[in-house]
Amino acid sequence: MSDVDVAVIGAGLAGLGAATALRAAGRSALVLEASDRIGGRAWTTHPAQLGGVWFDMGAVWLHSAEINPLVPIARAVGDTLLRSDELRVERTFVGTREATAEEYADYGGAWQRYEDRAADILRTRDDVPMAEVARSMPDDPWAVTVETWEGPIICCAGAEEFSLRDWYRNLLSGSNLVPQGGIGAFVARRLGEGLDIRWATPVTKVSWNGSGVSVETLRGRVTARSAIVTVSTGVLAAGAIAFDPPLPPEVLSSIHALPMGLAMKVALRATGPDRLDLPLHCSVDRQVKRSGDPTMGFQCWPYKRDYVQGWVGGPVAWELARAGEAAAVDFALGQLRALFGGRVDRLFGGGQTLVTRWDADPFVRGAYSFVRPGDADARIALAQPLADGRLLFAGEACHNGMAGTVAGAWISGQDAARIAA
């Protein structure tokens, strides 16, 4: 198709960040995107099942807003940023009842107790499964609840298969902001402008054995001085892109040490006026007694809307994906029924539903990466340039500090671009 300084493979946040940095450095870049849109896992839709309101299928928040590089971009153009933490009201259940004031206070302190215990473990151990933290806190009634949130729900990985050191390195702090209209819409509206992006152009092979690189696509060949590969580790592990020469063993090892977790959203639209005695924009969770107990967290009536949205991640999400969307809806209803009883069936019976399926997207193959115990340096290793910078990898999987986030992907792409430039 053309000759450029840098070929950027993938138009998610890492690819867009790389192309933006290359443009600022005065280098030409061509972004090759397999799908028909930009943004990758930041994707806003307006599903008919939910009445046409905006809905983020993947990423939702600009995490750690105080240091997030995308926040000043949004503010510079006057975009409205909703303060998610201030909007949210929280309800926690112990069994079928709401937590008492004393239990809420104890739960609130559990997060710091869990983090402190993790730090204690990592002072004497190189790495262990995340599950070791709660196991070492048998008398803390909330330790497994924190584990459930931080492992399967947030990081999409079961506590037994997740590196504690990687989790600790990527702890997020600060506030969470939501661009009005959805984060995917913000990305599509603001971050692709002026970039040379070719949609529906899957890359099939990258040859990097000469003085430059040759990138083969279904629409032709691109030659460049270097290539930045920003596709997910799920796509790389599946061999969807061939490399000539083959990637070195240490790179392949890093890719396989960074498997894709899965997060699934299930939205249930109400058919009546009942709001389960919950306030608007209410987050609902429950005390979890056993590690690995299948659990879904909920956001109820977000932005004054008439639906409840549940999140489930890790091994349970993969099981539900294999079982099908009906099974995911049944699981969500069952989780709500355990808290609110038969009124759940009256409220949602016959209503429309939506289930996200990132597992079925061939250009992603999951939600985002996690690190297996003992491989805590895999993100650092994968981000190392090859062949004097002719071949680089970038993305949320390559960032330490904000892994699994749009900001981490953006920063990783910009870092790779500086090396390529």
| Domain ranges, ordered by start, for the chain | 2-39+191-259+369-420, 84-176+261-360
Q: Residue 163 contacts by C-beta under 8 Å, 6 or more apart in sequence?
A: 127, 129, 130, 370, 371, 372, 373, 374, 375, 376
Q: Is the peptide bond before 245 cis (omega within 30 degrees of 0)?
A: yes
Q: How high is the pLDDT of residue 210?
A: 84
Characterize 399-410 residue by residue with b for buried, 16 or more Cβ atoms within 10 angstroms of its Cβ, and e for exposed: bbebbbbbbbbb
Q: Which two tokens stand for residue 26?
A: 């005065």
Q: At how many degrees (to 10) do helices 13-24 and 406-420 cross?
A: 40
Return the ∠ at Cα 235 (arms to 232 and 240), rounded to 5°: 145
Q: How high is the pLDDT of residue 1?
A: 64
Report in angstroms the alpha-carbon separations of 220 from 2, 195, 212, 239. 9, 19, 17, 20
pLDDT per residue, tens digit, the chain (421 aa), is 679 999 999 999 999 999 999 999 999 999 999 999 999 999 999 999 999 999 999 999 999 999 999 999 999 999 999 999 999 999 999 999 999 999 999 999 999 999 999 999 999 999 999 999 999 999 999 999 999 999 999 999 999 999 999 999 999 999 999 999 999 999 999 999 999 999 999 999 999 998 899 999 999 999 999 999 999 999 999 999 999 999 999 999 999 999 999 999 999 999 999 999 999 999 999 999 999 999 999 999 999 999 999 999 999 999 999 999 999 999 999 999 999 999 999 999 999 999 999 999 999 999 999 999 999 999 999 999 999 999 999 999 999 999 999 999 999 999 999 999 9
> Under CATH, which number does the domain 84-176+261-360 receive?
3.90.660.10
Q: Which residue has the tokens 């079928």?
A: 96
Q: How high is the pLDDT of residue 2?
A: 74
Domain 2-39+191-259+369-420, CATH 3.50.50.60 — does that match?
A: yes
Contact 293, 131 (CB under 8 A): no
